[in-house]
Amino acid sequence: RKEVEQDPGPFNVPEGATVAFNCTYSNSASQSFFWYRQDCRKEPKLLMSVYSSGNEDGRFTAQLNRASQYISLLIRDSKLSDSATYLCVVNPGNNAGNMLTFGGGTRLMVKP
Amino acid sequence: SQTIHQWPATLVQPVGSPLSLECTVEGTSNPNLYWYRQAAGRGLQLLFYSVGIGQISSEVPQNLSASRPQDRQFILSSKKLLLSDSGFYLCAWSDSPKKRGAYGNEQFFGPGTRLTVL
């Protein structure tokens, strides 16, 4: 079983749609969770951290369910510029190297 | 604010040639530093990480090596490139757990070097 699993997609949605991505992780002791965005042929960029209480940043909402080891990202009112690959990222949090475990990514394509 | 630089942006090298990629970080001190590789259409693979000057940990055995001669400088090298070394090489930094007083910090990536070995 992969440490961080995501549906690779692609998710093809029209502009204005709401889309949700899910991610599961295997290490129940994981401490920190993030969503990164990677545009084609570019570096990953931190989109948002994910907190147990859930957090929102504009059109983006992230949720964490520790009991089910499940993380989600909701994008409302999709824009063409949201087209990218979204990486679910987990930090076990118990290593001095501060290493991250990356999911394979979910590709989103927003169409006009 | 912190910035991370990588160069060159693109590189085409023949098989068997040497490699040197450089990464520098500005605006922070004592960062953890990382080298990743991303093959076309694939996920990120951690190659090396460093928690301090001269301290290198290797995650994947291969013909690559890394060095950290200064606090904010990280170098990826190879003596002889293979075709399979082609890919997108990304350097990243994070605050060390010692500095933040907590584990689980995010990482920030440089713009990457796209390497093609022919």
- Closest Cα in chain B, distance from residue A96 (Å): 6
- CA B103, B104, B105 angle in degrees (round to 5)? 105
Position A72 scores a pLDDT of: 96
pLDDT at B42: 87
User: pLDDT, tens digit, for every residue of A62-84?
Assistant: 999 999 999 999 999 999 999 99
Burial classification of residue A64, based on how many CB atoms lie within 10 Å of its CB (0-12 exposed, 13-18 middle, 19 or more buried): buried
Distance CA B27, CA B38 (A): 26
Q: What is the pLDDT of residue B73?
A: 97
Question: Does the distance separating the beta carbons of B49 and A99 come in below 8 Å?
Answer: yes
> What is the rounded average pLDDT of the residues A105-109?
97
Residues B3-14: tens digit of each pLDDT = 999 999 999 999
Backbone φ and ψ for A27, nearest 5 degrees, come out as: -85, 105
Pair A100, A2: CB distance under 8 Å: no
The mean pLDDT of A9-15, rounded to a whole number, is 96
Residue-wise pLDDT for A44-59, tens only, equals 999 999 987 788 999 9
SS3 A82: helix
Query: Is A42 in contact with B106 (Cβ distance < 8 A)?
Result: no
Q: Per-residue confidence at B76, pLDDT binned at 50, 70, 90?
A: very high
Band (pLDDT 50/70/90 cuts) for residue B104 is low
Instruction: Please give the mean pLDDT across all residues of chain A.
Output: 93
In this predicted structure, the answer to whether residue B69 has a pLDDT above a threshold of 70 is yes
Q: Strand runs (DSSP E) across A39-105, as ranges?
A: 44-50, 55-57, 60-65, 70-75, 84-91, 101-102
Residues of B in contact with A99 (CB under 8 A): 34, 46, 49
Residue A31 pLDDT level (bands cut at 50, 70, 90) = confident
What are the pLDDT digits (tens) for B22-55?
999 999 999 999 999 999 888 899 999 999 999 9
Confidence of residue B59 (pLDDT cuts 50, 70, 90): confident
Q: Do A105 and B98 touch (CB under 8 A)?
A: no
Residue B62 has pLDDT above 90, yes or no: no
In this structure, of A12-16, A29-33, A95-99, B18-22, the range with the lowest mean pLDDT score is: A95-99
Q: Which residue has the tokens 């059109």?
A: A59
User: What chain B residue is nearest to A4 in terms of C-alpha separation?
Assistant: B43
Dist. CA A35–CA A90, nearest whole Å:
9
Q: Is the pLDDT of residue A98 over 90?
A: no
CA distance A1 to chain B (A): 16
What is the distance between the alpha carbons of residues B106 and A99, in angstroms, rounded to a whole number?
Answer: 9
- Contact: B96, A102; criterion CB under 8 Å: no
8 A C-beta contact, residue B110 and residue B5: yes
